[in-house]
Amino acid sequence: MMSMMYQAWQNQMDLAAPWRSGAANALKYLNLVPQGGSDRLFGRLAAALELISRSTLTYTRPDYGIGTVMVGNRELAVTEEVTYATPFGSLLHFKKEDGPELPRLLLVAPMSGHFATLLRGTVKTLLQDHDVYITDWHNPRDIPLDRGRFGLEDYTDHLITFMDKLGPRSHMVAICQPSVSALAAAAIMCEDDHPARPATLTLMAGPIDTRILPTKVNEFAKSKPIGWFESNLINYVPVQCKGAFRKVYPGFVQLSAFVSMNLERHIKQHMDLAHHIAKGEKEKAEIIKTFYDEYFAVMDLPAEFYIETVRDVFQEHLLPQGKLMHRGRAVNPAAIRRMGLMTVEGEKDDICSIGQTLAAQDLCSGVRAYRKVHHMQAGVGHYGVFSGKKWNNEIYPLLRDFVHVNS
């Protein structure tokens, strides 16, 4: 019965679509009404129509919206170019027109319910001093079933392939969840003496060893047997979609879990949005709308990737115990040599606590001490590690210098 929940939800969204469309159209006409004595009434009506029209999720990737970037004292145009693609992901290059030659860097985005566009701010900052590529993951609900499965090993394979496309002396930066796969990919490439093995690997707020100071997220992952996750969270993609009948962890279920963690805050934000619209405070309303346009753009996870991640990373802790396997071979972080390693953690991170990412430093015993850097950023939570003022002003300069010294 649980496996049909996604289909029921999609049917309900489709049935409500005319109402949302009608509200959006009515709002357009309402905005044409001249301002006058009934502004208060029209403001309240506009707020109601806006909230109705926005009462949905989108499964389409938003735009990155990075048209230009400052490099030194020059503003350069940026264009997006797919360098390589598989059914499950694209190697997306942010190409700068007439830019100087800079260190090539692969930004590894998490596959955790939102699109890689969640890192647009990270990308824009990195573009100042690097030639940036990103793992632009595709939504599984749009991938036909005959394109095969996508598990944790497939994720690692993609990173190895993408680094190969970037070529020798490139750098890899992994944000959060994919830190395990990034470390595994680097270990395999070093052990094979792959010419495109990373010159540096930076792991940011990643769950290398979740036995250290477990968070509520870690505790929940261990509170149920793996069969519970399969029975209660995995659904079939609805028949209306290209990926019909593919097993996934639906984006709307993930988002519901995220929202429930801060339900009062999200309710208040939407009350504030209605208030700003009713009073004609367009700039304040636009800030909230922009945030939720991204937040409500959700991506499903392939069932096998989700289940294997919960089991191997959060329940059995295979990597720190030396038991993680990849295509029948043991993943050996100690095989990593002639490479820089940087780990970054946030003091107030309640998703990946202090020490969980730092654990990579001990696992990579083959990396020379002078090539190792660890930074604990005071005053930031999980997202502050890779976005916001302290990322831009305190963390990024350290990462930039680390990459350039090891280029």
Enter the pTM of the model: 0.88
Checking if the pLDDT of 36 tops 70, the result is no
Contact 234, 303 (CB under 8 A): yes
Residue 282 domain flag: no
Checking if the pLDDT of 118 tops 50, the result is yes
pLDDT, residue 60, reads 84
Residue 289 domain flag: no
Q: Which residues pair with 75 in a beta bridge?
A: 70
Contact 118, 255 (CB under 8 A): no
Closest CA to 133 of 104, 174, 158, 161: 104
Q: How far apart are CA 261 and CA 146, in angstroms?
A: 36
pLDDT, residue 111, reads 92
**Which residues does 286 contact at the CB level (< 8 Å), separation at least 6?**
none
Residue 332 domain flag: yes
pLDDT, residue 3, reads 65
Closest CA to 244 of 300, 283, 325: 300
DSSP reduced 3-state for 284: helix
Which of 27 and 87 is assigned the larger pLDDT?
87
Q: How far apart are CA 61 and CA 142, in angstroms?
A: 11
The DSSP code for 279 is: T
* Tens-digit pLDDT profile for residues 158-215: 999 999 999 999 999 999 999 999 999 999 999 999 999 999 999 999 999 999 999 9
Among 2-11, 43-52, 114-123, 234-243, name the one with the lowest average pLDDT. Answer: 43-52
Contact 140, 300 (CB under 8 A): yes
Q: How far apart are CA 246 and CA 230, in angstroms?
A: 14
Which of 367 and 6 is assigned the larger pLDDT?
367
Checking if the pLDDT of 28 tops 70, the result is no
Domain residues for the domain of 377 are 68-218+303-405
Residue 230 domain flag: no
Distance from the Cα of residue 9 to its chain's centroid: 24
Contact 342, 198 (CB under 8 A): no
Checking if the pLDDT of 44 tops 70, the result is no
pLDDT, residue 259, reads 62
Q: Counting every residue, how long is the chain?
A: 407
For residue 344, give the CATH number of its domain. Answer: 3.40.50.1820
Checking if the pLDDT of 285 tops 90, the result is no
- Three state DSSP letters for 287-341: HHHHHHHHHCEECCEEHHHHHHHHHHHHHCCCCCCCCCEECCEECCHHHCCCCEE
- Percent of the chain surpassing pLDDT 70: 84
* Tens-digit pLDDT profile for residues 334-356: 999 999 999 999 999 999 999 99
Write down the number of H helices and E strands in the chain: 14, 14
pLDDT, residue 114, reads 86
Residue 117 domain flag: yes
The Cα-based distances of 211 to 111, 225, 320, 357 in angstroms read: 22, 17, 9, 11
Residue 61 domain flag: no
Checking if the pLDDT of 92 tops 80, the result is yes
Distance from the Cα of residue 206 to its chain's centroid: 12
Residue 250 domain flag: no
Angle at 177 between CA 191 and CA 147, to 5 degrees: 80
What does residue 141 show for φ and ψ, rounded to 5 degrees? -70, -10
Q: How far apart are CA 181 and CA 297, in angstroms?
A: 24
**Which residues does 71 contact at the CB level (< 8 Å), separation at least 6?**
96, 99, 100, 102, 127, 128, 129
H or E stretch covering 256: helix 251-261
Counting Cβ atoms within 10 Å, is residue 95 exposed (0-12), middle (13-18) or buried (19+)?
Answer: middle
What total number of domains does the chain contain?
A: 1
Q: What is the gyration radius of the CA atoms in the chain, in angstroms?
A: 22
Which of 403 and 294 is assigned the larger pLDDT?
403
Q: How far apart are CA 253 and CA 269, in angstroms?
A: 21
pLDDT, residue 1, reads 46
pLDDT, residue 264, reads 79
Residue 6 domain flag: no
Cα-based torsion angle of the residue sequence 257, 262, 264, 269 in order, rounded to the nearest 10 degrees: -100
The Cα-based distances of 269 to 46, 252, 284, 334 in angstroms read: 17, 19, 11, 47
Q: How far apart are CA 203 and CA 50, in angstroms?
A: 40
Checking if the pLDDT of 14 tops 80, the result is no
Closest CA to 344 of 288, 391, 282: 391
Closest CA to 91 of 134, 132, 147, 51: 134
* Tens-digit pLDDT profile for residues 136-167: 999 999 999 999 999 999 999 999 999 999 99
* Tens-digit pLDDT profile for residues 94-115: 999 988 999 999 999 999 888 9
